[in-house]
Amino acid sequence: MVNGILDYLWLVPALPLLGVVLNGAIALFAERPLLLKEAAGHVDSHGGHHEAPAYRKLVAFIAPAVVGAAFVVALLCVLSLASRPADGRTFVQILFPWIQAGSLLVPAALQLDPLSSVMALVVTGVGFLIHVYSVGYMSHERAFARYFVYLNLFMFAMLTLVLANNYLLMFVGWEGVGLCSYLLIGFWYEKKSASDAGKKAFVANRIGDFGVLLAMFLVFWTFGSLSYTEVFAKVPLLRESGVLTTGLATAITLLLFLGATGKSAQIPLYVWLPDAMEGPTPVSALIHAATMVTAGVYMVARSSALFLLAPDTMMVVAVIGAVTAIFSATIGICQTDIKRVLAYSTVSQLGYMFLACGVGAFTAAIFHLMTHAFFKALLFLGSGSVIHALSGEQDMRKMGGLRKYVPVTFATMFAATLAIAGIPGLSGFFSKDEILWQAFSSSHGSPVLWGIAALAAGITAFYMFRLVFLTFFGQSRMDPEVEKHAHESPWTMTVPLTILAVLSVAGGWIGIPAVLGGGNLFEHWLAPVFHPAAPMAASHGAVAAAGAHGAEAAPHHPAALEIGLMALSVAIALCGIGLAYFLYRVRTAKPAEIAKAWPTLYDVVYHKYYIDEFYEWAVIRRIVNVSTGLWQMFDALFIDGIVNGAADLVRAAGDRVRRLQGGVVGGYAFSLLAGAVLLVGYILYRSVVQ
Amino acid sequence: MIAPSAYLLLSAILFGIGVVGVVARKNVLIILMSVELMLNGVNVAFVAAGSYLGDAAGGVFAFMVMTVAAAEAAVGLALLIALYRLKETVDITELKVLKW
């Protein structure tokens, strides 16, 4: 079979890697010496931004170009894949044998199937737009090349993650994106809070990674392989023979989900994501909204065959998703930092995706992942444009009335806000409503889950419109100095905003549900990935099967119910918007009054339910105490005691022996003589005795 | 004919005087001379034994020792002069820097 363009699939991750090498060389050999010279005080040669060194232009070209090229290759590959029959849409490209140890055979292999193609297109597409945006946003940044090295490296790691054909290679990408996340959160490492946030993100992720690692051991132990194609093909067989018990499947999937809670910022490991806002705003858009944080959702969807065998895990996933959705949405209400509102919104929306996974609606999860990537990336980039316009101001209390200063940013952000609020016709509506419907109708779902999710949707609409009203409407609360410089961003920033706005509006049209007269192309596209699992699961419980067939479970419910629930959720969203309008446009004094009326409640929510403080007290303090104890007792006393003891012993012995060497040559000569006499005497004695 | 034991006794006396000189004297020059005395004491024993056994090797060996002793004296005296220029002394008890 001729694969055509698919044989060039390896170019998709390789192109960003090329960018890393080229930009890395520039960063090391051109930029670093310059920055070091500057730090040493030779600023005279480097007066202002207008004397930008030539390498910046090169970097500004290479970094977006390699990602754009990767997007083109990915698009061609996906088109080629789409021309195949539906059951043949899995393409595996083995690059080279990577690890061969006993029965463990892990090749470096890429896999393109409907699921990874959605991810690859979203990652490269949104990634390309954000790279272009970054060129404008970071134009005043000194470490320009270093920034783009990290960004390209992130793209490489993320594409490795989504295109890998086995868990181990995916894990390489998984760790790689974690590293890049750390590097980029702490990009302004001179700032203590930024480097602390980087460390926090890294440590929280490590806890999750531990789960993924254990899950991989279990998978290899059970299946004897780590490759997706082999593992999922063996599931029915091992299920039949009783090797793959429900308990084992639960253990594997719970451990995988632990990893997902770390990477995708779910309860209990979500605390790092809001702090991650210390990084540059395009990084928040790319890593902490559109791509990396969705890796957990991708992994759960990828392992859907295993998750469907573990009803307990499914319930855990659904409950954690729903609780995270509403929990972080409520925190979002009280935040005043524009980026932190969006961060909690991201945590909340990721909760929706896990809710969808937990009720077996993996298609809906990936659909929401995609639309969320569009509108949340747009919201972050828009907030970046606002921050850029206001010379770095992030506090919404010092904004207001920005509509007339940044019209493009306002229009695009408003479109994204409508999309995330779930206004009918926009992308967020279709994906969120699909999740709500599945949460209600799927056999894993329940009206309670629907109620929580719908309420969270209302809160989402509220805090998002609060953000828009506070930022763009009303009287200006800006510093006069800042207001004087307020300006619309350059084209490198507004063009990506516009494209993302179009996608936020229209991106949902590929998944219009049947009940609204749509073809739901998206579900058909992903069907080969999620549905082959169904017949196998069907023989072991209709529960799992119905979950996989979320859409097929729908016939039990009349279409009128689906439409009715849809209308209800829209009504809830409109209530949220109306409330935001009332509180932040009509009676602007009211929010402060409410905060004063319930000071305790406001305080608790404003301080994010004191979760960080609780973790500090419950976990971090303990670990620090134990570590301090180990350091002082075991390390300082025991280990150092052995080492120092050995040294002391040798020193004491030497102190005695050195007295023999007195420096008087006569003494040495006498010793020589005495030795010779003894030796000769001994020889004579021996000869006499014999 | 003198008995071989008399030669060996002379040899031992010469060697013994040399040893005492090396161990007990402070002047480096005297010590070098004492070393020569020890070597010559040994030489007497070689020659006496060679003559007694009718073997020329004893005499040959004595010449060898003399050659080496000449070389040693040359080097030793050179060192002695260098040492004196540096430290302005040839008293070995004052040259005890090389110790713990």
Domain that holds residue B38: 4-94
Residue A134's nearest CA partner among A111, A159, A151 is A151
What residue in A sits closest to B92 (Cα-Cα)?
Answer: A665
**Contact check, Cβ <8 Å, B99/A673:** no
pLDDT for res A532: 56
Helices B28-53 and B4-24, interaxial angle, to 10°? 160
Q: Is B5 on the interface with A (CB under 8 A)?
A: no
Residue A555 has pLDDT above 60, yes or no: no
Q: What pLDDT, in 10s, does the model give residues A664-676?
A: 777 888 888 899 9
DSSP state letters, A414-469: HHHHHHHHT-TTSHHHHHHHHHHHHHHHSTT--HHHHHHHHHHHHHHHHHHHHHHH
Burial of A143 (0-12, 13-18, 19+ CB in 10 A): middle
Q: Which residues of B touch A666 (CB under 8 A)?
A: 23-24, 26, 92-93
CB atoms within 10 A of CB A133: 29
**Contact check, Cβ <8 Å, A658/B24:** no
pLDDT for res A47: 45
Q: Which residues of A touch B76 (CB under 8 A)?
A: none
Q: Is residue B38 part of a domain?
A: yes
Q: Which residues of A touch B95 (CB under 8 A)?
A: 665
**Contact check, Cβ <8 Å, A661/B96:** no
Indicate the pTM of the whole model: 0.79
Helices (H) and strands (E) in chain B, counts: 3, 0
How distant is the Cα of B19 from the closest Cα of chain A, in angstroms? 8
CATH number (domain holding residue B15): 1.10.287.3510
Residue A533 has pLDDT above 60, yes or no: no
Q: What pLDDT, in 10s, does the model give residues A294-303?
A: 999 999 999 9
- What 3-state class would DSSP assign to A379? helix
CB atoms within 10 A of CB A219: 22
Q: Is residue B33 part of a domain?
A: yes
Question: How many CA within 13 A on the CB side of residue A238?
Answer: 21
Distances (CA, A) of A306 to A216, A219, A235, B99: 13, 10, 8, 77
Q: Is residue B100 part of a domain?
A: no
Q: How far is CA A378 from the centre of its chain?
A: 17
- Beta-carbon contacts of A341 under 8 Å, excluding residues fewer than 6 positions away, are A332, A335, A396, A463, A466, A467
Q: What pLDDT, in 10s, does the model give residues B2-61?
A: 888 999 999 999 999 999 998 888 899 999 999 999 999 999 999 999 999 999 999 999
Residue among A662, A663, A669 minimizing CB distance to B22: A669
What residue in A sits closest to B99 (Cα-Cα)?
Answer: A663
> A207 with A257: CB under 8 angstroms?
no
**Contact check, Cβ <8 Å, B97/A663:** yes
Query: Which residues 14-53 of B are in CB contact (within 8 Å) with A?
Result: 19, 22-24, 26
Q: How confident is the model at residue A2 (pLDDT cuts 50, 70, 90)?
A: low
What residue in B sits closest to A667 (Cα-Cα)?
Answer: B23
> A322 with A338: CB under 8 angstroms?
no
Residue among B22, B24, B100 minimizing CB distance to A661: B100
Q: Is residue B69 part of a domain?
A: yes
pLDDT for res A51: 57
Q: Which has more pLDDT, A344 or A554?
A: A344
Residue A359's nearest CA partner among A427, A232, A448 is A448
Q: Is A658 on the interface with B (CB under 8 A)?
A: yes
pLDDT for res B100: 53
| Residues pairing with A244 in the sheet | none
Q: Which residues of A touch B97 (CB under 8 A)?
A: 663
Q: How far is CA B21 from the centre of its chain?
A: 10
Residue A450 has pLDDT above 60, yes or no: yes
Q: Which residues of A touch B22 (CB under 8 A)?
A: 669
Mean pLDDT, to the nearest integer, of A416-425? Answer: 92
Mean pLDDT, to the nearest integer, of A26-38? Answer: 89
Buried b (16+ CB within 10 A) or exposed e, A229-246: eebbebbbebbeeeebee
Mean pLDDT, to the nearest integer, of A422-448? Answer: 89
pLDDT for res A556: 58
Buried b (16+ CB within 10 A) or exposed e, A597-606: eeeeebeebe
Residue among B24, B26, B96 minimizing CB distance to A663: B96
Q: How confident is the model at residue A52 (pLDDT cuts 50, 70, 90)?
A: low
Which of A230-239, A364-373, A542-551 has the least mean pLDDT?
Answer: A542-551
> A553 with A442: CB under 8 angstroms?
yes
Mean pLDDT, to the nearest integer, of A565-570? Answer: 90
pLDDT for res A54: 84
Domain count across chain B: 1
- What 3-state class would DSSP assign to A105? strand
Q: Which residues of A touch B19 (CB under 8 A)?
A: 673
CB atoms within 10 A of CB A408: 18
B-interface mutation test, from A664, A668, A672, most B Cβ less than 10 A away: A664
**Contact check, Cβ <8 Å, B96/A666:** no
Question: How many CA within 13 A on the CB side of residue A151?
Answer: 36
Q: Is residue B36 part of a domain?
A: yes
Query: What type of residue sits at position A138?
Result: M
Phi, psi of B91 (to 5 degrees): -85, 115
Mean pLDDT, to the nearest integer, of A459-483? Answer: 89
**Contact check, Cβ <8 Å, A670/B93:** no
pLDDT for res A42: 60
Element (H, E) at A107: strand A104-112
- Beta-carbon contacts of A270 under 8 Å, excluding residues fewer than 6 positions away, are A261, A324, A328, A347
Q: How confident is the model at residue A551 (pLDDT cuts 50, 70, 90)?
A: very low
**Contact check, Cβ <8 Å, A665/B100:** no
Query: Which residues 70-89 of B are in CB contact (within 8 Å) with A?
Result: none
Q: Is B93 on the interface with A (CB under 8 A)?
A: yes
Residue A13 has pLDDT above 70, yes or no: yes
Q: Which residues of B touch A661 (CB under 8 A)?
A: 99-100
What residue in A sits closest to B23 (Cα-Cα)?
Answer: A666
Q: Give the pair of three-digit tokens for residue A458.
A: 């209302």
Q: Which residues of A touch B96 (CB under 8 A)?
A: 662-665
Percent of chain A residues topping a pLDDT of 90: 61
Q: Is residue B41 part of a domain?
A: yes
pLDDT for res A669: 85
Is beta strand A91-101 parallel, antiparallel or unpaired with respect to A104-112?
antiparallel
| Residues pairing with A91 in the sheet | A112
C-beta contacts of A217-222 below 8 A and 24+ residues apart: A218/A248, A218/A251, A218/A252, A218/A255, A219/A167, A219/A252, A220/A104, A222/A248, A222/A252
CB atoms within 10 A of CB A515: 18
Q: Give the pair of three-digit tokens for residue B1.
A: 């004919």
Query: Which residues 14-73 of A are in CB contact (within 8 Å) with B?
Result: none
What residue in B sits closest to A655 (Cα-Cα)?
Answer: B100
Q: How far is CA A401 from the centre of its chain?
A: 33
Residue A66 has pLDDT above 80, yes or no: yes
Q: Give the pair of three-digit tokens for residue A131.
A: 């790279």
> A602 with A595: CB under 8 angstroms?
yes
Residue A544 has pLDDT above 70, yes or no: no
| Residues pairing with A109 in the sheet | A94
**Contact check, Cβ <8 Å, B99/A661:** yes
Q: Is residue B22 part of a domain?
A: yes
- Beta-carbon contacts of A357 under 8 Å, excluding residues fewer than 6 positions away, are A297, A300, A301, A304, A307, A317, A318, A321, A365
Q: Is residue B87 part of a domain?
A: yes
Size of interface A-B (CB pairs under 8 A): 26
Instruction: Using only the alpha carbons of chain A, give its radius of gyration.
Output: 31
Residue among A659, A663, A673 minimizing CB distance to B98: A663
Mean pLDDT, to the nearest integer, of A382-411? Answer: 89
Which of A125-139, A232-246, A293-307, A451-465 has the least mean pLDDT?
Answer: A232-246
Alpha helices in A141-227 (DSSP H): 144-163, 167-185, 192-223
Q: Which has more pLDDT, B55 or A661?
A: B55
Our CA angle for A350, A63, A33, nearest 5°, is 115
What interface predicted TM-score (ipTM) does this complex get? 0.82
- What 3-state class would DSSP assign to A94? strand
Residue A388 has pLDDT above 90, yes or no: no
Q: How confident is the model at residue A412 (pLDDT cuts 50, 70, 90)?
A: very high
**Contact check, Cβ <8 Å, A661/B92:** no
**Contact check, Cβ <8 Å, B95/A659:** no
Distance (Å, whole) CA A665 – CA A65: 81
